[in-house]
């Protein structure tokens, strides 16, 4: 992992970068040569052909031209005076890995930690920047975070962040060039071929860099906490995008700021999500398959390599990594407001427990009101019969609201409208709505727990029999209620 590998990586990055720009200049020059050759050798010019060649040549040169790196802060900046425990931890890791501290550290909304060189041109005149994910710090312990950060410092140690801007800029320039030429142009083929070659080679190098950074982290902090941290990150990180779009986005769209980290913690603990992420982690550890275009080795291979390295000592009291930060709620407010953009400052904070009454019930009420005509005459007792033709109900609901027919989405529309109406009916009868990230919405009423948005699918699949549903409706006193007439009172909401 010594200087020879670093030199080889640097040389390879330069060769690949020069190769791309040589290709771009060659293609641009060849295109300009075509009208020139017509004039010099054929003594005429085809205006349309000449114009196409000149436009394509200028497009290639403009797309390939390197751009200055304009760094936009990805979140609130963390400063030593405000978070001394975090920076003491970072300094300890920097000393253990024999690296300088990053110039700037930012809190980011991701299950990830990263380092890079930002600013300048092609890495020249740049500065070291680190990003720490708030959800990451919520799910890792201090020892696990230290191991993950030692891995990130390993990228500084290996020179990866110095080479990275060259690779990233070249990759971006290839993408710009392909976009500029258009998908139907034969001129794309040389750049597409070179792009695929570039990705395969640079990603192979990137995978090797990950092993080297892992080794440095294991020798500086210990392989055991890094393995534990990798298990945790690989288990829950894939769920974050779904959590953001499924749970956070609707709340933000309604004008509220929900607790990001607490919600994600609840989300990955919810049984439906926990089962899926556990299964995914098991598959990753079992398969060990890495795509040629992956930037990281498989988790199985990384863990196997780490198992041969010093494991480190057992930690004593291992606090959550978020304890290294001061005033986490204020940081999260700032982070979420920044993510929301220009309107972030005007958003109102809200707990997950209150999202039912203030976010979802108003949305469900509008949904039911918009489709009230299609619900007329439908009662909870009639749902077993309706479950057999969700597409038909969905199509009729769309027709009544003058929406264009969509066979694929019709069943989901039917389930959404009926589920919302049933939920509002249960709340009107005194039920308590429970909203927990990752769990289905459910209402408790008279000792019964009903998940309104799962009733029709469960009746359709046979998971709930028609007889059992009829008995539950009778016990709740809702069997004959018309779902088109439900309204939303001020509900009794519980988390």
pLDDT in tens, 193-202: 888 888 887 7
Cβ–Cβ < 8 Å for 104, 130: yes
Judge whether 307 lies within some domain. yes
Judge whether 88 lies within some domain. yes
The reply to whether 316 and 357 lie within a common domain is: no
Judge whether 177 lies within some domain. no
Residue 151's nearest CA partner among 167, 136, 171 is 136
The reply to whether 243 and 278 lie within a common domain is: yes
As beta bridge partners, residue 450 has 443
Q: 321 to each of 74, 139, 365, how far by Cα in Å?
A: 20, 8, 41
Report, as an integer, the average pLDDT of 212-232: 92
Listed residues 296, 311, 343: the one ending a domain: 343
As beta bridge partners, residue 121 has 124
Identify the band that residue 127 occupies on the pLDDT scale cut at 50, 70 and 90. Answer: confident
pLDDT of residue 163: 63
Per residue in 41-99, pLDDT (tens digit) is 888 889 898 998 998 899 888 888 877 767 788 899 999 999 999 999 999 999 998 88
Judge whether 462 lies within some domain. yes
* Bigger pLDDT: 343 vs 211: 211
Residue 118's nearest CA partner among 108, 110, 109, 130 is 130
The reply to whether 320 and 433 lie within a common domain is: no
Cβ–Cβ < 8 Å for 128, 162: no
Largest CA-CA distance found in the chain, in angstroms, rounded: 94
Per residue in 394-408, pLDDT (tens digit) is 888 877 777 666 778
pLDDT of residue 89: 95
The reply to whether 119 and 262 lie within a common domain is: yes
Of all residues in the chain, the percent with pLDDT exceeding 90 is: 51
Q: Which two tokens stand for residue 171?
A: 């990759």
Q: What is the pTM of this model?
A: 0.79
Work out the number of other CB atoms within 10 angstroms of the CB of residue 449: 11
Residue 318 backbone phi and psi in degrees, to 5: -110, 95
The reply to whether 414 and 268 lie within a common domain is: no
Judge whether 66 lies within some domain. no
Listed residues 294, 315, 343: the one ending a domain: 343
DSSP single-letter state for residue 317: S
The reply to whether 127 and 233 lie within a common domain is: yes
Judge whether 165 lies within some domain. no
Q: Say how many domains are in the chain.
A: 2
Q: Which residue range(s) make up the domain with 115?
A: 77-158+205-343
The reply to whether 99 and 244 lie within a common domain is: yes
Report, as an integer, the average pLDDT of 444-456: 94
Helix (H, G, I), strand (E, B) or coil at 318: coil
Beta strands in 81-155 (DSSP E): 104-108, 113-118, 127-133
pLDDT of residue 282: 94
The reply to whether 246 and 104 lie within a common domain is: yes
Q: What is the mean pLDDT of the chain?
A: 86
Helix (H) or strand (E) holding 242: helix 223-243
Identify the band that residue 203 occupies on the pLDDT scale cut at 50, 70 and 90. Answer: confident
The reply to whether 295 and 383 lie within a common domain is: no
Listed residues 343, 372, 391: the one ending a domain: 343
């Amino acid at each position: 992992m010594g200087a020879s590998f670093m030199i080889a990586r640097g040389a390879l990055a330069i060769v690949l970068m020069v190769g791309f720009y040589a290709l771009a200049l060659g293609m641009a020059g060849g295109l300009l040569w075509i009208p020139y050759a017509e004039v010099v050798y054929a003594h005429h010019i085809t205006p349309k052909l000449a114009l196409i060649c000149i436009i394509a040549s200028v497009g290639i040169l403009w797309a390939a031209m390197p751009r200055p790196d304009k760094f936009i802060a990805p979140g609130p900046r963390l400063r030593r005076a405000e978070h001394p425990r975090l920076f003491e931890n970072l300094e300890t890791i920097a000393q253990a890995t024999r690296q300088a501290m990053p110039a700037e550290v930012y809190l980011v909304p991701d299950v990830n930690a990263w380092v890079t060189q930002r600013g300048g041109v092609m890495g020249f005149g740049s500065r070291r920047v680190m990003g720490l994910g708030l959800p990451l710090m919520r799910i890792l312990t201090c020892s696990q975070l230290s191991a993950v950060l030692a891995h990130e410092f390993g990228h500084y140690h290996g020179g990866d962040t110095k080479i990275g801007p060259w690779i990233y800029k070249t990759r971006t320039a290839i993408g710009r060039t392909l976009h500029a030429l258009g998908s139907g142009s034969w001129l794309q083929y040389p750049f597409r071929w070179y792009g695929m070659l570039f990705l395969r080679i640079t990603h192979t190098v990137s995978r090797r860099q990950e092993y080297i950074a892992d080794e440095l982290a294991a020798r500086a902090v210990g392989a055991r906490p890094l393995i534990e941290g990798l298990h945790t990150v690989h288990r829950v990180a894939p769920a974050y995008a779904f959590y953001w779009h499924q749970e956070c986005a609707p709340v933000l769209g309604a004008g509220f700021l929900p607790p990001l980290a607490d919600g994600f913690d609840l989300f990955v603990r919810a049984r439906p999500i926990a089962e899926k992420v556990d299964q995914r982690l098991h598959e990753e550890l079992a398969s060990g398959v890495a795509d040629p275009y992956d930037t990281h080795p498989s988790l199985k291979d990384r863990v196997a390599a780490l198992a041969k390295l010093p494991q480190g000592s057992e930690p004593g009291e291992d606090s959550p990594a978020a304890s290294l930060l001061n005033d986490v709620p204020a940081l999260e407010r700032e982070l979420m407001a920044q993510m929301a953009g220009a309107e972030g400052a005007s958003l109102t904070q809200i707990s997950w427990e209150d999202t039912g009454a203030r976010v979802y019930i108003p949305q469900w009420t509008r949904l039911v009101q918009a489709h009230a005509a299609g619900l007329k005459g439908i009662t909870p007792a009639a749902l077993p019969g309706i479950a057999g033709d969700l597409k038909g109900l969905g199509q009729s609901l769309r027709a009544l609201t003058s929406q264009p027919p969509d066979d694929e989405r019709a069943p989901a529309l039917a389930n959404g409208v009926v589920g919302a109406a049933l939920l509002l009916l249960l709340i009107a009868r005194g039920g308590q709505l429970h909203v927990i990230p990752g769990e289905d919405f459910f209402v408790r009423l008279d000792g019964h727990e009903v998940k309104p948005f799962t009733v029709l699918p469960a009746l359709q699949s046979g998971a709930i029999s028609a007889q059992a549903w009829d008995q539950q409706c009778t016990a709740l006193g809702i069997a004959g209620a018309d779902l088109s007439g439900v309204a939303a009172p001020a509900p009794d909401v519980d988390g």
